[in-house]
Amino acid sequence: MNPDDFEKRLQRQPLREIPSEWREDILRAATLPAHSSFVIRHSLRSTLTSRLSSILWPQPKAWAGLAAVWVLIFALHLGARDRSPQLAKSSGSSAPELMMGLKDQEKILAELMSNNEPRESEKPRRFPATPHSERRRSTPMI
């Protein structure tokens, strides 16, 4: 039976009336969830998926590109993080050498800080605060 024959056969059949009892049952079943304690529960995954699809739908290629950039940034960050412990281990500086370097720096800092007073030529000149004009402005108060 091809689809055209089936459609012609359906067109020839008379439409039957739906029993009125069925109509009442169907309407009662349709309004039942709104009035009863029956609640449709969606899983977190389905809720998240539906919300994300509604947000991302207008420009899916742009969002996919943005996600790819974030994945690339994350991968580069992880790649850079793996090398840092190797560099720290390969430096080979011992604790006594570090302490000597810190003491040298403290000595240099102390020498620099001991001579920190400005010279006479570097001191800022202070002038007394005087008005630029001898004329005083008077503002009428009403």
Domain that holds residue 74: 59-83
In a domain, 70, yes or no: yes
The answer to whether residue 71 sits within a structural domain is yes
What are the pLDDT digits (tens) for 130-142?
666 666 666 777 6
Task: Say how many domains are in the chain.
Answer: 1
**Measuring CA to CA, how many Å separate 119 from each of 27, 111, 114, 122, 128?**
98, 17, 13, 5, 22
Whether 65 is covered by a domain: the verdict is yes
Domain membership flag for residue 74: yes
The answer to whether position 5 is within a domain reads no
Place of tokens 């943005």: 66
Residue 72 lies in a domain: yes
Contact residues for 74 (Cβ-Cβ < 8 A; gap 6+): none
Burial 129-142 (b: 16+ CB within 10 A, else e): eeeeeeeeeeeeee
How much is the pLDDT for 38?
A: 55
Q: Is residue 77 part of a domain?
A: yes
Instruction: For 81-125, give the DSSP string.
Output: HHHHHHHHHHS---HHHHHHHHHHHHHHHHHHHHT-SPPTTTSPP
Q: Does residue 1 belong to any structural domain of this protein? A: no
Judging by beta carbons within 10 Å of its beta carbon (0-12, 13-18, 19+), is residue 63 exposed, middle or buried?
middle
- pLDDT by 10s per residue, the chain, length 142: 677 888 988 889 988 888 888 888 888 888 876 555 555 677 888 888 888 888 877 888 888 899 999 999 999 988 887 555 565 555 666 788 888 989 999 999 888 888 666 556 556 666 666 666 666 666 777 6
